[in-house]
Amino acid sequence: MPVKVNPTPVSPIPPFAGQETAESVLVVDDDPLVRDLLVQFLSLRGYRTLGVKDGYEALRVVEEAAPDLLLLDMVMPGLSGIDVLKALR
């Protein structure tokens, strides 16, 4: 005899259109597809986002804007993510 299961409905994550949060996120990735995808996703969720392509730009932006969160690619040409973290300490 088959068992009947009543699944609990799951509501989707609501977008925060027009309701920005106070948090800012800096996305650092040399891959433009990954960077743009993360920036777009976070922006749709209400975060103030900025994407940069390398560690040097990341250090400049952190100095000027002090973002709340840093999403950092570890393997980048030039200044790696590890180098950025060391410089920020």
Q: Distance between CA 18 and CA 89 in Å, rounded?
A: 35
Beta strands in the chain (DSSP E): 24-28, 48-52, 69-72
Domain 24-88 has CATH 3.40.50.2300: yes
The mean of the pLDDT values for the chain is 85
- Give the orientation angle of helix 55-65 with respect to helix 81-88, to 10 degrees: 30
Q: Is residue 35 very low, low, confident or very high in pLDDT (cuts 50, 70, 90)?
A: very high
pLDDT at 4 over 80: no
Question: What's the angle, vertex CA 85, arms to CA 72 and CA 52, rounded to 5?
Answer: 35
- What's the average model confidence in pLDDT over 25-47? 96
